[in-house]
Amino acid sequence: MKIALVGKGGSGKTTLAGTLARVLARRQHRVLAIDGDPNPNLALTLGMSRADANRVRSIPSSLVESVTTAPGQSTLRMTMDRSRVLGEYAAQAPDGVQLIVMGKPADGSAGSGCMCASHRAVRGLIAEMSDSGEHTVTDMEAGLEHLKRGTARNVEAMLIVAEPYYRSLEAASRTFSLANELKIPHVYAIANKVRGDADRDAIAGYCAQHGMPVLGVVPFDDEFAAAERAEMAPADFAASSAGMRAIEAVADLVIALEARAAA
């Protein structure tokens, strides 16, 4: 299943994406993780050292090209075969997860241009690299740009990470509407950083009002903050914490969802 995690900046989507990828791998699934954020941090959440993360080669935007298939119609095609992409650009993360990192702006400096080509590359990777793992887990950039550009068009499941306050829930609602416009088959909210029943009820009530199904609830976990300070992945630092158990439950639901879709 091709899975994308999206959310407002600071919602915790990168932590959830990396941890979900690790849990799926520990469930004996082959996992390809794609860091689709122009400010890439997924490697650290997956449990790679900072030195190893800095050595990961980002994919060039030229890896994917647009090909006209009929008048007014086009499709994306990779300019390099899958095995070479994995050989040259995929990094090995713990538990056997493979990681690919999207390209940055042309020269990496302020004012150096838009991310249009990188959006196209990520969309092509999601479409073409899914058979490199049983699950493709993509950490999308914060905000709505990837949806407006159709970057996430080829995913099968979108998990919208929402915190229990109004601005985050409003952003989640807008994301949900755009995901439905793109006809993504499975779109769910993930309640994150939930501190108690009041937070849980606020998210449940808002999501019910806006027709957003909630796939899982991840509590606020001090162990995750401690893992961040220690520059370690939650999967390694806090393997038995409440937050980890909640993400494990989400992973099991994703596996069940994929099984139902394949049946």
Q: Is the pLDDT of residue 39 over 90?
A: no
Q: Name the band, by pLDDT with cuts 50, 70 and 90, for residue 111.
A: very low
Q: What does the pLDDT average to over 241-247?
A: 97
CA dist 3 and 135 (Å) reads 7
SS3 assignment, position 231: coil
Cα pseudo-dihedral 48, 61, 137, 77, rounded to 10: -140
Strand (E) or helix (H) holding 19? helix 13-26
SS3 assignment, position 245: helix
Q: Which residue has the tokens 């905000």?
A: 143
From the list 243, 186, 188, the residue with the least C-alpha distance to 218 is 243
CA dist 183 and 164 (Å) reads 26
Q: Name the band, by pLDDT with cuts 50, 70 and 90, for residue 246.
A: very high
Q: Name the band, by pLDDT with cuts 50, 70 and 90, for residue 155.
A: confident
Longest dimension (CA), the chain: 55
Q: Which residue type does 235 have? A: A
SS3 assignment, position 116: helix
pLDDT value of position 73: 67
Q: What is the DSSP string of 170-185?
A: HHHHHHHHHHHHTT-S
Could you read off the pLDDT of 58-67 as tens digits, one per residue?
Answer: 887 777 777 7
Indicate the CATH number of 2-262 among 1.10.1060.10, 3.40.50.300, 3.40.190.10, 3.10.450.50: 3.40.50.300
Q: What does the pLDDT average to over 8-22?
A: 94
Q: Is the pLDDT of residue 120 over 80?
A: no
Hey, where are the domains in the chain? 2-262
Q: Between 113 and 8, whose confidence is greater?
A: 8
CA dist 217 and 235 (Å) reads 17
